[in-house]
Amino acid sequence: MNSLRSWIVLGGAVFAYLVSVTQRTSFGVAGVPATERFDVSASAISTVAVVQVVVYAAMQIPVGALVDRLGSKGPLLIGAGLMAAGQLLLAFSPSFAPLVVARMLVGAGDALTFISVIRLLPFWFSGRIVSQLSQWVGTIGQLGQILSAVPFALLLQQAGWTPAFAVLGSLSLVALFVVLIAVKRGEPQPLTGPLPAGGFGARLLASARRPGTQLGFWVHLIGGTPTNVIAILWGYPLLTAGLGYSTGLAAGIMSLLVVGGVICGPIIGYLIARFPLRRSSLILTVVSAIAVVWALMLLWPGTPPVGLVVLFFLVVAAGGPGSLIGFDVARSFNPSHAFGSASGIVNVGGFTGGFVSMLLVGVVLDALHGAGVTRDLYSYDGFRIALIIPGVIVAGGIAGLIVARRRTRALMYAESGIEVAPLWVALFRRWRPARPTE
């Protein structure tokens, strides 16, 4: 545990995750070129991204159970292979239909990756560092957004569609080789709870029924939804077609999603390790900040200044590491044999909210343009209206979080006698002057 070998294993796995994020977000910078290359609508392009994310989300629960049973290395290898195949198919797609299949392969390979990396942590590390490593995995992995937003975007512009996506496919083959050499399963953890009778279905149902798993799901949904909408699909068209930014400026601003994650990830990792009973309050704080800057962007009269756009991308980036709090929550309230299954359930949250939002944003943009409300398909006025949708979904997720948090805290009190007071009460008690004693 916590040895040099542990860091080598984690490094190989995190490299595979970094590549998977690059593959996941690469279509975001190719949305407008794809519209022109395949002569399709905004709804069709959003459908491609949604299909990718639907496949990803649908596979999370079975992948979590698979990783619990078989370990991480096999799924990581299969995931890298699927993403390589998907990007190479995309590179040579002659029509729209193969493009959809290609992104489904990318979504399937991506689905096998993150849960496998997270599941490795308790096999190779122990102590409070595990919570912080979850954040660092997410933060380092998000550097893949820079690879897709800057070098890939420039390669796509300069070299064209086929060479750019062929290079991405080759990158996944490199990741496959790294995993093959570096990643090992590690020592299995001792059981921290009884195995449910009835096999896979019973274990999965038991994990899904735990209030802590449900709380983790809602944490991931409200943190991940706005970030996924911007990072995976609509951020780049918003900048280039909506605001008229150049490719270079748009790529630089998109990279701020990673900068914001790098800044926020370690801070959030420290806070959840230091204040484990306040993790839901932390994600609500993060989401509140996103809501404020999101509203400023949509309500700003005329074209928003570049400074506000920069702030928007930096703050929205905090949703990524914020969503990872959900995995730490689920790990706290599940026995060791169910970590993978619980993580799979949690990971469905942000991507479910994301794909619903991405699809509806595209539908609204098409509807506004078709009705003559907006002159251009990707006009900023259209985005002002369409980007209300993720806010509505996040609001519903907050309601689910509050219900799940109440149930989780009640269970903690019933089982362990731990009472978690509301945050304002805890702050009042902390800062209230002590009464003088005689």
**For 272-323, how does the pLDDT look when each residue is reduced to its tens digit (9 = 90+)?**
888 888 899 999 999 999 999 999 999 999 899 999 999 999 999 999 899 9
More confident residue, 180 or 125: 180
In the block, which residue shows the tokens 């560092």?
A: 129
Which of 15-29, 127-141, 395-409 has the highest mean predicted lDDT (pLDDT)? 395-409
Which of 28-32, 49-53, 181-185, 424-428 has the highest mean predicted lDDT (pLDDT)? 181-185
Tens-digit pLDDT profile for residues 43-101:
788 788 778 878 988 888 888 888 878 888 999 999 999 999 999 999 998 888 898 99
Mean pLDDT for all residues in the chain: 86
Tens-digit pLDDT profile for residues 195-207:
555 666 777 788 8
Question: HEC profile for the chain?
Answer: CCCHHHHHHHHHHHHHHHHHHHHHHHHHCCHHHHHHHHCCCHHHHHHHHHHHHHHHHHHHHHHHHHHHHHCCHHHHHHHHHHHHHHHHHHHCCCCHHHHHHHHHHHHHHHHCCHHHHHHHHHHHCCCCHHHHHHHHHHHHHCHHHHHHHCHHHHHHHHHCHHHHHHHHHHHHHHHHHHHHHHCCCCCCCCCCCCCCCCCHHHHHHHHHHCHHHHHHHHHHHHHHHHHHHHHHHHHHHHHHHHCCCCHHHHHHHHCHHHHHHHHHHHHHHHHHHHCHHHHHHHHHHHHHHHHHHHHHHHHCCCCCCHHHHHHHHHHHCCHHHHHCHHHHHHHHCCCHHHHHHHHHHHHHHHHHHHHHHHHHHHHHHHHHHHCCCCCCCCCHHHHHHHCCHHHHHHHHHHHHHHHHHHHHHHHHHHHHCCCCCCHHHHHHHHHCCCCCCC
- Lowest mean pLDDT, pick from 26-40, 50-64, 180-194: 180-194
Task: Provide mean pLDDT across the span 374-401.
Answer: 93
Residue-level pLDDT at 438: 42
Enumerate residues 6+ apart whose C-beta is below 8 A from 80. Answer: 16, 19, 20, 109, 113, 172, 173, 175, 176, 179
More confident residue, 324 or 396: 396
Q: Which domains occur in the chain, in start order?
A: 4-185+199-418 (1.20.1250.20)
Q: Sorting pLDDT into bands at 50, 70 and 90, what band is 437?
A: very low
Q: Sorting pLDDT into bands at 50, 70 and 90, what band is 244?
A: very high
Task: Provide mean pLDDT across the span 15-21.
Answer: 94
Tens-digit pLDDT profile for residues 115-172:
899 888 878 887 778 777 887 888 888 788 788 877 888 898 888 889 999 999 999 9
Q: Sorting pLDDT into bands at 50, 70 and 90, what band is 430?
A: low
pLDDT for 193 beyond 70: no
